[in-house]
Homo-oligomer: A and B are copies of this chain.
């Protein structure tokens, strides 16, 4: 029996993608080879890489002034790579601190330049997105985390600033349209809304790269990967392949515009139930609620324990909140079917009736 997988990442992928991926592991398109044993220089894989890049550009309406890369190392590697590639040691970048992951980006950025935190929601345990800040004129870029997986908050309005935004979109890339002009660089680990663990998407404005005096190892220089079309060294073949399949699926659903409407509806259904149900309460400020990671608490520790047990029995998987926060977190990325959210809501309703 297939579980309802509410994991925050690695996370659910479309069922059709997993089935197609499994077939390719045995024999890829009848060519007599598995996708796992294919040379990355083969015409078959080169076509996969190009299609993945092209689909990304098409779905997010990105022009050729940007380059789409499939790297590795996760968002954790982009925390330092962005500063390493964009900041001289005496230059300044500004960061908005909205949770665990922004805090890590700030920490790593400090190795390579001056990092100024110009706004933070740490004062209230990151339950909101700061709206007011002043960007100093010496800022070279502004770093934000568009969706905060741990806390369950999301930027619903991307700031208008005069410098390029560097954005960690690990948990909401491809969940809604973006205005690419605002961004200098977008990064995202694949394993939440794009594919399996093992590849990291970087969308970078080409003219920003290769301007520093710092000596950067070849593999850490965005210019290396731009020049080689993300094929400087052996890319993570299978994670890129599955990401490409997921992007094809996304296009067939109507792209990010259609997906945003579905995501709004799914999230509303769940937040409405949290607000209505006397056993539960939401964790974060209403205006900043994430459409991807829905965080909520039970009203008592006893209810929390009881609901967690019922979820297990109802094939609802991975709904436990982050360890430092507790409670519940339902991650409802693109691939999460509306029917699974409905199932969760029904279980919550029955739970209240029986409580």
Chain A residues in the interface with B (C-beta under 8 A): 1-3, 5, 7-13, 18-19, 21-23, 25-27, 31-34, 36-40, 42, 72-77, 79-80, 84, 104, 107-108, 111, 189, 191, 196-199, 215, 217-220, 232-239, 242, 315, 317-318
* Contact among B9, B13, B189 for A34, CB-based, below 8 A: B13
CA distance A27 to B76 in the complex (A): 29
* A232 B76 Cβ-Cβ under 8 A: yes
Q: Which residues of B contact A23 (CB under 8 A)?
A: 22
Closest to A200 in B: B72
- Tell me the smallest distance from the CB of A47 to a CB of chain B, in Å: 15
* Contact among B9, B25, B104, B315 for A234, CB-based, below 8 A: B9
* B236 A197 Cβ-Cβ under 8 A: yes
* B10 A32 Cβ-Cβ under 8 A: no
- Tell me the smallest distance from the CB of A169 to a CB of chain B, in Å: 16
CA distance A25 to B19 in the complex (A): 8
* Contact among B12, B33, B111, B191 for A317, CB-based, below 8 A: B33
Q: Which residues of B contact A218 (CB under 8 A)?
A: 76, 79-80, 104, 107-108
**Contact A5 B19, CB 8 Å, known A73-B72, A219-B80, A236-B72:** no
* A236 B236 Cβ-Cβ under 8 A: yes
CA distance A237 to B11 in the complex (A): 12
CA distance A237 to B7 in the complex (A): 14
Closest to A24 in B: B22
Q: Which residues of B contact A72 (CB under 8 A)?
A: 72-74, 198, 236
Q: In the complex, given contacts A18-B37, A39-B318, what are 20 additional A-B residue pairs having Cβ atoms less than 8 angstroms apart?
A: A5-B37, A7-B37, A10-B38, A10-B40, A10-B237, A22-B25, A32-B315, A32-B317, A72-B72, A72-B74, A73-B219, A75-B233, A76-B218, A76-B219, A79-B219, A189-B234, A196-B238, A198-B237, A236-B236, A238-B239
